[in-house]
A and B are shown apart, each in its own frame.
Chain A
Amino acid sequence: MRSTTSPGMFLGAFRRTHEFRLLIATVGLIAILSVSSRRFLTLQNGLDLLTSYAFSGMLAAGLLVVLVSGGIDISFTAIASVAQYVALVAVMHLHGGWLMLFAIGLGIGTALGMLNAVLISTLRISSIIVSIAMLNVYFGLLMFLSHGNQLFNMPDWFLNAFSWVLWTDSEQNPYVLNAQIIGLFVCFALSWLLLNRTSIGRQIYALGGNAEAAARVGYNAWRLNLVVYGYMGFIAGLASLAQAQLAQSVAPNVLVGRELNVLAAVVLGGASLTGGQGTVLGAILGVAVLACMENGLILLGVSSYWTQFFDGAVILVAVSTIAWERRRQRAAMRRVIAAPAGAAVARQG
């Protein structure tokens, strides 16, 4: 298993990672865009970008954990739709408050995520198939029961929540720190803590790196799956509430369909579909590259109809370089193994 690389500590090692190349690409992209568009590198544009990509970013933080564990989840957009819809309907009808909103939204998210985990563990079919099936189940039920009706007229305390004006500039433009940006940072912080600062996080890496070995060591795959998919559901619930607050309305069918975009961002960040690989920094950069590029293209005057084309090109280039790099690493590893033991130690040392 490759361990995560923490920047600062091993700058030499970090320089050879995918994250480093991605960081260079991101900085380069930002530099080019800043030179060619005066509106790009402004605080306002930065805050706007953070706000509009918060939902995808939060989900990316959750999906990263699932990918590290060696699984995959496609159903999180449906879970998010169910969580936000039920939570807001309940709050509106029962005149509840924040506590109720979060309890229901996060509770439903976690519960549905755990249901995925139970099915994946007991049915012994791959997580992608279970999550595709459950995406249809959750989304179909929600659309059936809600008749596709949108929710408006949400309580004022929800609509006006969390916007702290950082300061106002000379032209009276407020710079606002809002719920979405806070949620984005919270989610990435949670994923980082879970993966790097808890025993469970290390077990998740172990499970994804080699499930058989992890089982032999005595890690409980069943319980780990419960944590991983439950966490994904929890994040989906949180992200859905932030998204509803931003949109100021809830439509049951706007979130489903975005799942592959989130997957693309996480994979762009270097997470492997076979598990055991992927870092929070990578996921952040993966989202950042796509966000900056999409935003930059629009600022440069490229029609937004072409956004997706460039997204696809970036994804293809990224997954190809990652695969190329991994193949080189494997070849190097084989050389080390093939060489006599002394030479291998000397080479590594």
Chain B
Amino acid sequence: MSPVRRIPLVSATNRVLLVLFAGLVLLFGTVIGTPLFRLGTLRAMALQVPQLGLLSLAMMIALLSGGLDLSIIAVADFSALVSAFLLTNIPADPGGLGILLQVLCLLAGLLVAATIGAINGVIIAYLDVSPILTTLGTMTMIKGLSVGLTHGGVISGFPPLVLFLGNANLLGVPVPLVILLLVAWPVAVMLNRSPFGNLIAMIGSNIAAVRYSGVDTRWVLIRIYVLSGLLAGLAGIIMMARFNSANAAYGESFLLVTVLAAVLGGVDPSGGFGKVSGLLIALAILQLISTGFNLLGLSEFLTLTIWGVTLVSIAGLGVLRQRLPSRRRAISPGQTSSGPISPRAER
């Protein structure tokens, strides 16, 4: 099936999302007034977005390849715990050596995250296990490892470098947001312009065709899940820096929300299509709803409801737009509405 004929979940996604975002700013701006635009509010939003943002990026890479990575939260927490354990056990040294050691501790966490990602990739690529099931297994096991080693406890008390990553400002912009943007940009360039990004999208569209055209799809799959793991590990470090502690259960409620954010941002859950820019706008929308409701004194749980409703309505809008203008809907044979991820999610 050629990519051109494929109907993405939402057509002209970014336009719809931007209109939605503008509408929400207008709506909340009218109802709430100036508190919405106060520096404190904006700063709070900028501090909350990056964790979900990095995790959503990790999920998005897997979704683009037609898979799913359920292990991202477990990986984030585990690598944060590894970094936290090392950070709290190295000798305190205020000089350059101390900083170097601390950076090494953080890198060790990322290395662990990449390793788990590689394990995911190997199982998916070489044992032919579907990504959902593989990552369901590693999620349970890695979470179990974190809980088993820490007994559910918290590791805390970090050097200033870590606190800087979580809470400081650079030119008025919170460092976590800077990190998100610094990561999102190269990821976007990679997805849109590099051969690897191309391969991810092609694998998400039709893995058999890619394999038959001589690409080592297994190696690409491993790299996809390593990258997903790395982004999750980075999210874990940001969470650890934000909360000044690491724990086996931080951010668990984010898992399904990352899928929502990615799909809302225009990522086709059956693979192949999606842009980082769409994801970022979707994140801004989700955060705006969350902050707006918070300022209105509405329950955080109502936010969850609205997030779900937003996704379903955007999808509904997509269907309406397909049906109304012309009756000739291209029905692709494989596109059954009930398939869990895609007909070929489990090869």
Contacts and interface: CB of A to CB of B under 8 A. Distances in A.
Interface of A: 69-72, 74, 119-130, 132-137, 139-144, 147-148, 207, 211-212, 221, 225, 257, 260, 263-264, 267, 272-275, 303, 305-313, 315-316, 319-320, 322-324, 326-327
B345 A273 contact: yes
Contact of A69 (B68, B134, B259, B338): B338
A315 B136 contact: yes
Q: Which 3 A-B pairs have the closest CB atoms?
A: A312-B141, A309-B144, A308-B144
A316 B9 contact: no
A211 B343 CA distance: 10
Contacts of B298: 144
A273 B346 contact: yes
A130 B340 CA distance: 10
A72 B339 CA distance: 8
A307 B302 contact: no
B22 interface: no
A316 B340 contact: no
Given A129-B311, A309-B141, A143 B346 contact: no
Nearest to A222: B337
B115 interface: no
A126 B267 CA distance: 12
21 contacts: A124-B337, A126-B337, A127-B339, A129-B263, A134-B308, A136-B257, A137-B308, A148-B301, A212-B334, A221-B336, A225-B337, A274-B339, A305-B151, A309-B141, A312-B138, A313-B137, A315-B136, A315-B140, A316-B134, A320-B127, A323-B127
The winner among A72, A273, A322 for most chain B CB atoms within 10 A is A273
A136 B140 contact: no
Nearest to B303: A140
B129 interface: yes
B304 interface: yes
B129 A140 contact: no
B204 to A, nearest CB: 13
A320 B129 contact: yes
A308 B140 contact: yes
Contacts of A275: 338-340
Given A123-B316, A274-B343, 7 more contacts: A70-B339, A126-B340, A140-B305, A207-B338, A212-B334, A315-B133, A316-B137
Nearest to B307: A136
Interface string B267-306: 0011000000000000000000000000000110111111
B136 A125 contact: no
Interface size class of B (residues with CB under 8 A): 35 or more
B40 interface: no
B218 to A, nearest CB: 14
B221 to A, nearest CB: 14
B309 interface: yes
A122 B312 CA distance: 11
A119 B311 CA distance: 12
B260 A132 contact: yes
Contacts of B340: 70-72, 126-128, 273-275
Main secondary structure of the interface of B (DSSP, over half): helix
A68 B65 CA distance: 24
Contacts of A74: 256
Contacts of A126: 269-270, 337-342
B138 A316 contact: yes
Given A126-B341, A323-B127, A267 B136 contact: yes
Contact of A140 (B130, B138, B302, B311): B302
A144 B308 CA distance: 14
The winner among B70, B138, B143, B147 for most chain A CB atoms within 10 A is B147
Contacts of A142: 301
Contacts of B136: 260, 263-264, 267, 315, 319
Given A128-B269, A319-B134, A136 B147 contact: no
B336 A70 contact: yes
A124 B319 contact: yes
A307 B305 contact: no
Contacts of A69: 338
Nearest to A316: B137
A128 B148 contact: no
A125 B9 contact: yes
Given A120-B337, A126-B270, A312 B137 contact: yes
B197 to A, nearest CB: 23
B329 to A, nearest CB: 9
B260 A136 contact: yes
A258 B247 CA distance: 20
Contacts of B337: 120-121, 123-127, 221, 225
B339 A71 contact: yes
B321 to A, nearest CB: 12
B141 A316 contact: yes
Nearest to A264: B136
The winner among B128, B132, B336 for most chain A CB atoms within 10 A is B336
Given A126-B269, A126-B341, A307-B144, A136 B346 contact: no
Contact of A130 (B145, B312, B334): B312
